[in-house]
Structure 1
């Protein structure tokens, strides 16, 4: 049977996590020997549909276009998915806020167990997922007739999205379930790259001492590198920066090409969110700080001296 990927999008384009989810679906499809379909559920979705059709691994794009799907309310998308779910052996969604809201509803509607946050595909019914804040990896096997999965984006490289030519098919949308209502969306406008999509991230911790120091020390470094800014939970809890900056198990999971951890001790909660980064550089005055256990390069010393020196060298 075919594999279905539920796309996260803004009606105009695909979210990057969808491409990572497609890469996971590609690994399953290679084992099973089947095609991959993508569902675009929304309203006025032509941009997202075109983007999905260009992804090399996609055989067909299913389009459910209706006003009640415009804002991606999970109840309405779930009902639309359940109308077609019997035609698929695997249903995948990204392990983002969108996917985590939607996938459990689909699994419950199908009366199957969900496999959450996978980072590797072992077989058509067997997957790996991190547990204990990433300190152990569980291998999970499912015997359900339809396997519902969420995919950790950092576990898979994004699928190629340039040379595909998938077929496009319109499907019927489920009626408004009437159990939730969209009121308002406040979108944060960023002058820097978005944290989960950035190739370079500069993160600060409690060692910076204050929000003023965070801005004074890290913003010039981020400007020099064209980087996004992040923070540890300790820095967020101390009020240095807003919650949107938090990297970690209870924040955002990232895997940039370069991650600079400045004044971050390396609590398990934080490491769970960034240790898959391709290159990790840590600056901390404590040579025994846990962050050095995962860092590729470490600078031991006063960050208020080392960071300006690093900026000058760059």
Structure 2
């Protein structure tokens, strides 16, 4: 039976949203084996949610030292599985995911496609390239083609699977392993992660200051239950944290709704957000390039429009 492997992303005992998206995409190839890499006992609490998302098989790839190692445990797990029973492999497109994909391609002797936005049953994939200005269909060789799929590019569709739980004992660390000697987790707020958010409100140079983000951008994002993003200009001015930069050298987003406040629309920023399903732009410059790809453009003062929109969203949600 045709099948595919999916690398499960999980945080603090819960599935990341991208996992359901990967499982949905992998159904194009047949049955889905969801591979959970972690310390002993990691997979069992995730089994019910994975089965509900559509996993036909859940592979508990666990080892006592996984938490002290970087990247290679996932590479080990996927290469062991795909070597014995070849099939396509899907991983999330991220700094870690892209490295896992590359290392896995070398081990398996198969090609890899990064920044994928869709896969097909014939093992081809859609990619959005050259700063998301061109869409192409690509294919690579090998028995186990590897796809690094962009978060938010595939709409997750829950379709319950059998969820059969099997175990895979991982090999221990080797001489080439990078070991973690200390770890301080990043503080995670109540907003959704930027790369996976369904609604993103982004601010640019037109926001004017750090206070513009706290007083204008953040309240609107919170009214929608969305994430906050920023342009390179805003980051360079120290108005917002660098981890929230959207663009070619930052985070790529593809939310259901993107709202850009005071953003002119440099190509580097557009490259990271123009696959958003609905784009709304507010800017007092009617010639701003971001209007060219907007579904709705508002020429006006964001300092009046955004707070009014925030209050209207709050009113409708309370009503």
Whether the aligned pair in 1 keeps the contact of 2:132 and 2:274 (CA below 8 Å) is no
Q: Distance in 1 between matches of 2:142 and 2:201?
A: 42
| CA apart distance, 1:100 | 1.4
| SS of 2:213 mapped into structure 1 | helix
Single out whichever of 196-205 and 217-226 deviates more from structure 2: 217-226
Q: What is the match of residue 168 of structure 1?
A: 165
Decide which of 75, 79, 82 is 1:82's aligned counterpart: 79
Query: Mapping of 1:64-213 within 5 angstroms?
Result: 64-70=61-67, 73-86=70-83, 87-160=85-158, 163-178=160-175, 179-182=177-180, 183-213=182-212
For 1:41 and 1:11, locate their aligned partners in 2 and report how far apart those are by CA, in whole Å.
13
Kindly indicate whether residue 229 of structure 2 is the aligned counterpart of residue 230 of structure 1: yes
Q: State the secondary structure of the residue aligned to 1:241.
A: coil
SS of 2:87's equivalent in the other structure is strand
Which residue in 1 is equivalent to 2:317? none
Instruction: Report the equivalent of 2:35.
Output: 39
Tell me what 1:49 maps to: 47
Once residues 40 and 100 of structure 1 are traced to their aligned partners in structure 2, the CA distance between those partners, rounded to angstroms, is 17
Q: Which runs of 5+ in 1 are unaligned?
A: none
For the residues of structure 2 that align with 1:278 and 1:210, how far apart are their CA atoms?
Answer: 28
What SS does structure 2 have at the residue aligned with 1:119?
A: strand
SS at match of 1:196: helix
What is the SS of the residue equivalent to 1:264?
coil
Q: 1:104 to 1:220 in 2, by over 3 A?
A: same
Name the structure 1 match of 2:260. Answer: 261
Q: Report the CA distance between 1:120 and its aligned residue.
A: 2.4
* 1:119-148 Cα shifts (integer Å, max 9, x gaps): 122442321211111111232122312211
**Deviation, structure 1 residue 72:** 6.3
For 1:312 and 1:5, the matched residues in 2 are separated by 42
Distance 1:72 1:41, change over 3 A: farther
Alpha carbons 2:110, 2:141 under 8 Å: kept: no
Q: Secondary structure at the match of 1:89?
A: coil
Give the equivalent residue in structure 2 for 1:15: 16
In structure 2, the CA distance between the partners of 1:268 and 1:165, relative to structure 1 (3 Å rule), is same
Q: C-alpha displacement at 1:158, in angstroms?
A: 1.3
- C-alpha distance in 2 between matches for 1:170 and 1:247: 39
TM-score, normalization: structure 1? 0.90
Judged with a 3 Å threshold, the aligned counterparts in structure 2 of structure 1 residues 36 and 268 are, in CA distance, closer, same or farther, namely: same
Shift of 1:111: 2.3
2:27 alignment partner in structure 1: 26
Task: Using the TM superposition, give the Cα deviation of residue 151 of structure 1 relative to its aligned residue in structure 2, in angstroms.
Answer: 1.0
1:125 and 1:143 in contact (8 A); partners too? no
Cα offset, 1:71, TM superposition? 5.6
Provide Cα deviations, 1:51-73, integer angstroms capped at 9, x if missing partner: 223322x2111111212223662
> 1:70-122: CA deviations, max 9, x gaps?
36621222123222212122111111233112111111112222111211224
Contact preservation (8 Å) 1:265, 1:290: yes
Question: 1:263 Cα deviation (Å)?
Answer: 0.3
- When the two chains are superposed, the root-mean-square deviation of aligned CA atoms in Å is 2.0
| Structure 1 position 234, deviation (Å) | 1.6
Cα deviations by residue, 1:191-215 (Å, 9 ceiling, x for unpaired): 3232233332211001112212222
TM-score, normalising length from structure 2?
0.89
**Matched pairs, number:** 307
Q: Is the 8 A contact 2:132 2:271 kept in 1?
A: yes
SS in 1 for 2:89: strand
Task: Give how far 1:11 is off.
Answer: 5.9
